[in-house]
A and B are shown apart, each in its own frame.
Chain A
Amino acid sequence: MNELVQLIVLGLMEGGLYAMVAAAIVLVFKSTHVVSLAHGQLMAFGALAFWFVLVKLDMPVPVAVILALAFSAMLGWTTERFAMRPLIGQPLFAAFLTTFAVFLMMDGIFQLMLKGESVSFAAHLPKGNVMMMGVSLPITQLVSFGSCLVLFLGLALFFRYTKVGLGMRATAEDHQLAQSTGITVRSIFSHIWVLSAVVATIGGVSLANVMDIYYPLPYLGIKGLIVALVGGLESLTGALLAGLLLGILENVSAGYLDPVVGGGVKEVAAYVLLLLVLLIKPYGLLGLVRIERI
C-alpha cells in the first residue's frame, strides 16, 4: 500500500513537470495551429541560461530567473521571426517540419555547449526531503510541482484578465475574425511564441532542478507533445490533467509491470497511452472535435 502511494505521489510530481512542457506547446497550437517540436529545445536552453546565470555568474536566484526568462523570450521571438513567420500561409505541415528543423539546429548547439557532460544547479536551490503521509518526498520535486501549479494559475488569470490574453483567445477562435476586430494577428503570433518560450523555460528550469541538464533533456519535448495530444491540443486544462495522468501511469505501470515483462515500461507507457487515447478519442481528452468541410 505504502509503495503504491509512493509511486502515485512521485508520479504526480513528475506529471506536473510534463504538464508544463505540454502547456507551452498547447499555447502555440491554440493560436497558430502549429504543433511545435522546438519547445523541447526552448526549455533546455532556458534551463541552461538559468544555470549559467545562477552558477557561472554566481547571481542570486531572482536575477537568474529574470535573466533566464528574458533570454528565452528573446529566443522565442527569434524562432517566430525567422523560422515561423516566413511560413505563414504555407501548409501547416511545413511549419511543423520547420519546428523540427529548429529542434535539430538547436540540438547541435546544445550538445556543443554541454560537451558530453552534465550540469546541475540543484545545489543552489532548496534541497533535502520531507516525510508526508508516510512517503519520503524530495523538496526539489515539491518546489518544481509548486511552480507548476503557480504557472497554470498564472496562465488562467492571464487569459482571463489581460488584453493580450484576450486577444490571443480571440485569435485562437478565428484569425480573420480577430483581424477584423482590430487585433494584429501577426503581433499576437509573436507574443504567443514569446509567452510559450517563457512557459517552456519555467518548465525547463523545474525539470532541470529535478533531473539536471543532460543531453536527453530536450527530448522531453516529445513527451510534452504526447501529453498535449492526450489532453487535447487546444486545452490547457487538458494538458494539466493529461500530464498528471501520464506521470502517475508511468510510475505505477513501471512499478508493477517492470518485474513481469523485464523492464523499460516507463519509456513505452506514454506511447501506449497515446495510441490508445488517439484510437478512442482522436482529438484528445478535452480537445475540440473539428468538423471538416470540403
Chain B
Amino acid sequence: MRRDRIRWLLVWLAFALLGCVSPLTSAQAIAKEVAFLDLSDFTGPVAGLTVPASSGLEDYIKSVNEKGGVEGVKIKYIGVDTRYDVARTISAFKRYARDPQVVAMGICSTPAGKMLQRLTREQPIVCTVPGDGEFQAHLGNFFTWGPTYQDAFAATIDWVLKDWKEKGKEGDPSIAVLSWDNAYGREMLRGGKEYAEKKGVKVLKSELFPTGTLKYDIYLSRLAEAGANYVYVGGVDPTQTNIMRDATRLGLTKDIKFISDYWGPTALGTSLHPEALEGMVVVSFFLRGEDAQNNEMMKKFWTTYRKRPMKEMNGGYAIGLGLGMSLEAAIKDAIKRVGPDKLTRDEIYKSYQNITGLDRQGVVGPVAYAPKVRRASDVVKFYVVKSGKIIPITDWVEAPNAVALHKWE
C-alpha cells in the first residue's frame, strides 16, 4: 500500500511539475520582441494547406530574425495546433488573449474566425484568415490571405467566358459548385453567384458534401445529369484530387471542364493521381507548380530552412512567405510611426491598413489591404495540370470584387 502511494505521488508530482514549467517557459518576455500567434491545424481536412503555409510563415520570420529583426524588433512565432476543433482554437486563443506581446494572429478555419470576431471586438487584434468574403463585407480586424473566395470565383467566370468563346460554342455556359458542406463551401456563391448571373453564366444547384467524404461518385453523376459544362471544385487538396480520381473513373472529364478553387491541387495532388488531374484548371493567388519551383525566393527559403528537395515543396509555402512579408512591412510601418516601444495591437492594426501596394516579390500579388479593403491582393493566375505538372496558362489577371455584389445582412 505504502509503495503504491509513493508511486502515485510521484506521478502527480511529475504532472504538477509539467503544469508549472510549461507556462513559465512560454512566458519569458524579452524586451523589443513581438509575437505572431498561429492557430493552425496540423491534422484534419485543411492540413494539406495549413502545414505548408505555416512553415512558410515560420521560415520567413526566422529569416527576419536572422537579419536582426525588423529594425531591432524580433518576431516570435508561436504555433499552436488546433486539430480542426473550434473549441480548441478558442481555448488556445484565450491562453494568449491578454498577452501584450502577441500583436497579430492567424487562424485557418471559417467558423473559428467568426467566433473570434465576437471575442476580439473589445481589443481588436489583426487576425489573418483564409478568404471569406464576409470579412471584406463587414470591415474589422480580420484580413484575408488572398483575394476572397468570391473574387476567385468571379475571376473564374471571366476565364470560363473566354474559354467558351475560344472553343466556339453557342449559348450560355453553365457552371456548378462542388464543395464542402460547411460555411466555406457556400461562401464563394455569396457574391460569386450574382457576378456570374450578371455576366450571363448559368449557376446550377451546388453539390455539397461533408468534409470527411472519401468517395464522390454520387455527387459527380448528379452534376453530369444536370448537364454542367464547368464544375468549380472547392475543398482543400487532396479533396480536389480525390474528386478528379472519381470523375476520371466515371469517365466524366471529357464533357465537363473541372476548375479548382485556389486550395486545389498542389505537389500533393500531382504526386497522388497525376493522370486523373490531367487538364484540371486551377485558379490561384499564389505561385504554384512550375512557377513555384522556378521562383528564386521560394527556392532560397525552402532549401535554407527546410533542407528538403525542391520537388517536395508545396505551393502553399508561398502563402506563408506572403503573410510574413506583410507582417514585416506592417511592423516596420508601425515602428516608423510610433517607435519600437509602442508596438501595440492597435498600432499594428492601423499599420496593416497602411501597407497598400507592398510588392511581395511576385510570390503573391501586391498587398491590397487598405482602410476599406481586407483582401490581401486582387490578382490571380490560372494554371493547368499537364502530365503531372502544374503549368501557368495566364499571367496575373485581376480578380473582380464580387463581395460588393452580394446583399449582406
Whether A and B touch (Cβ < 8 Å) is answered with yes
B238, A214: Cβ atoms under 8 Å?
A: yes
User: Would you call B43 and A118 a contact (CB within 8 A)?
Assistant: no
Question: Which chain A residues lie closer than 8 Å to B218 at the CB level?
Answer: 7, 10, 251, 254-255, 258, 266
A interface footprint on B23-54 (CB within 8 Å = 1, 0 otherwise)? 00000000000000000011111011011000
Tell me if A264 and B217 are in contact (CB < 8 A). no
Chain B residue contacts of A129, Cβ below 8 A: 249-251
| Cβ-defined contact, A3 with B221, below 8 A | yes
Q: How far is the CB of A110 from chain B (nearest CB, A)?
A: 10
Complex CA distance for A7 and B225, rounded to whole angstroms: 12
Within 191-242 of A, Cβ neighbours of B (below 8 Å) are at 210-212, 214-217, 219-220
Q: Interface code A245-279, partner B: CB below 8 Å = 1, 0 otherwise?
A: 00000010011001100011011000000000000
Take A116-B51, A118-B238, A264-B181 as given contacts and tell me if A216 and B214 are in contact as well, using a CB distance cutoff of 8 Å.
Answer: yes
Question: Does residue B190 face the partner (Cβ distance < 8 Å to A)?
Answer: no
Instruction: Please measure, in the bound complex, the distance between the C-alpha atom of A255 and the C-alpha atom of B42, giving whole angstroms.
Output: 34
Residue A80 interfacial (CB < 8 Å): no
Look across to chain B and name the residue whose beta carbon is closest to the beta carbon of A262: B208
In the complex, are the beta carbons of A211 and B51 less than 8 A apart? no
Complex Cα gap A217–B213 (Å): 9
**Which residues of B are found within 8 Å of A10, using beta-carbon distances?**
217-218
Residues of B within 8 A of A114 (CB): 43
Task: Give the chain A neighbours of B245 by CB distance below 8 A.
Answer: 120, 122, 212
Q: Pick the contact of A117 from B215, B250, B268 — CB < 8 Å?
A: B268
Contacts of A136 in B (CB 8 A): 250-251
Contact, CB under 8 Å: B51 / A115: yes
Partner of A255, one of B43, B44, B222, B246: B222
Q: Chain A at the B interface: mostly helix, strand, loop or mixed? A: helix
Q: How near does chain B come to A203, taking the closest CB pair, in angstroms?
A: 14
Asked whether A215 lies within 8 Å of B44 as measured between CB atoms, the reply is yes
Quick check: B215 and A14 within 8 Å, CB to CB?
A: yes
CB nearest neighbor in A for B251: A136
Q: Which residues between 218 and 245 of chain B lie within 8 Å of chain A, taking CB atoms?
A: 218, 221-222, 225, 238, 241-242, 245
Task: Give, as a whole number of angstroms, the nearest-CB distance from A249 to chain B.
Answer: 12
Residues of B within 8 A of A7 (CB): 218, 221
* Per-position 1/0 for B175-212, Cβ under 8 A of A: 00000010000000000000000000000010111101
A10 CA to B205 CA, complexed, in Å: 23
Using A115-B51, A138-B249 as known contacts, say yes or no to A258 and B238 having CB atoms under 8 A apart: no
Tell me which residues across on chain B come within 8 A of A212, comparing CB atoms: 214, 238, 242, 245, 272
Residues of A within 8 A of B44 (CB): 116, 215
Rounded to whole Å, the gap between the CB of B121 and the closest CB of chain A is: 32
* Closest chain A residue to B215, Cβ basis: A211
Whether B242 lies near A214 (C-beta < 8 A) is yes
Max chain A CB contacts within 10 Å: which of B51, B210, B217, B222?
B217
| B210 engages A267 (CB within 8 Å) | yes
Closest to A140 in B: B249
Contacts of B249 in A (CB 8 A): 127, 129, 138, 140-141
Q: Does A184 contact B (CB under 8 A)?
A: no
A264-B208 in contact (CB<8A): yes
**A3–B241 CA distance with the chains assembled, in angstroms:** 25
A14 to B208, alpha carbons, bound, how many Å?
20
Q: How far is it, in angstroms, between the C-alpha of A266 and the C-alpha of B181 when the chains are bound? A: 12
- Pair B212/A216 contact, Cβ less than 8 Å: yes
Kindly list chain A residues whose C-beta atoms are within 8 Å of the C-beta of B275. Answer: 123
Q: Is A74 an interface residue (CB 8 A)?
A: no
For A117, the chain B residues whose CB sits under 8 A away are 47-48, 238, 268
Q: Nearest chain B CB to A199's CB is how many angstroms away?
A: 20
- Closest A-chain residue to B272, C-beta based? A120
Q: Which of B45, B214, B221 contacts A211 (CB 8 A)?
A: B214
- In the complex, 30 of the A-B residue pairs with CB atoms within 8 angstroms, ordered by the A residue number, are A7-B221, A10-B217, A14-B215, A111-B43, A116-B44, A116-B47, A117-B238, A118-B242, A118-B272, A120-B272, A120-B273, A123-B275, A127-B249, A129-B251, A136-B250, A136-B251, A138-B249, A210-B215, A211-B214, A211-B215, A214-B214, A215-B43, A215-B44, A215-B45, A220-B214, A251-B218, A264-B181, A264-B209, A266-B213, A266-B218
Excluding A214-B214, A263-B181, 12 further A-B contacts by CB distance (< 8 Å) are A3-B221, A14-B215, A114-B43, A115-B47, A119-B272, A120-B273, A138-B249, A210-B215, A211-B242, A258-B207, A264-B208, A267-B210
| In the complex, the 7 A-B pairs of residues with the closest C-beta atoms, listed nearest first | A116-B47, A138-B249, A211-B214, A216-B212, A118-B238, A111-B43, A263-B208
